[in-house]
């Protein structure tokens, strides 16, 4: 059985994702905006859509990451995060597969570690699909 979240409706640029970032003026959405741009830039096979009110990045139709903004923090989530190397210990969550990194205003961000998680999530999904 395929344990991947698949979204056949994913597209190169989703208007719902654009509206999510542009619409509210929420500062926490601005906090995750550059990270979603990084997800978009990983390769020509990266597609996107809104899923559960969160901009979601896919390799083809297989979701590998998302960003979200909540009332007190923002998050970068990984659909197969439990399988990712995390030497910096940033990933949170206890589910079977998903993990996330919390971001808060005024708190330091380990940008190289987050970048490594994003690249690992993309590579992991590409490997799962091959």
Strand residue runs (E) in 1-114? 46-51, 54-59, 62-69, 74-78, 99-103
Predicted confidence (pLDDT) at residue 1 exceeds the cutoff of 70: no
Closest CA to 57 of 83, 74, 76: 76
Instruction: Using alpha carbons only, give the angle 51, 53, 57 rounded to the nearest 5 degrees.
Output: 40
pLDDT of residue 114: 98
Return the higher-pLDDT residue of 91 and 3: 91
Domains of the chain as residue ranges with CATH = 15-129 (3.90.1150.200)
Chain-centre distance of CA 110, in angstroms? 16
- Residue 23 binned pLDDT confidence (cut-offs 50, 70, 90): confident
Beta-carbon neighbour count of residue 12 at 10 Å? Answer: 10
Is the model more confident about 25 or about 67?
A: 67
By the 8 A CB rule, do 125 and 42 touch?
no
């Amino acid at each position: 059985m395929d344990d991947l979240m698949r979204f056949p409706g994913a597209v190169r640029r989703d208007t719902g994702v654009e509206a999510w970032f542009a619409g509210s003026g929420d500062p926490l959405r601005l906090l995750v905006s550059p990270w979603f741009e990084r997800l978009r830039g990983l390769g020509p096979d990266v597609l996107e859509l809104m899923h559960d009110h969160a901009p979601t990045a896919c390799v083809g139709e297989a979701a590998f990451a998302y960003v979200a903004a909540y009332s007190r923090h923002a998050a970068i989530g990984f659909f197969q995060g439990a399988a990712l190397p995390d030497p910096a210990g940033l990933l949170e969550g206890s589910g079977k597969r998903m993990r996330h990194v919390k971001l808060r205003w005024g708190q330091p961000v380990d940008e190289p570690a987050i970048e490594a998680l994003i690249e690992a999530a993309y590579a992991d999904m590409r490997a799962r699909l091959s």
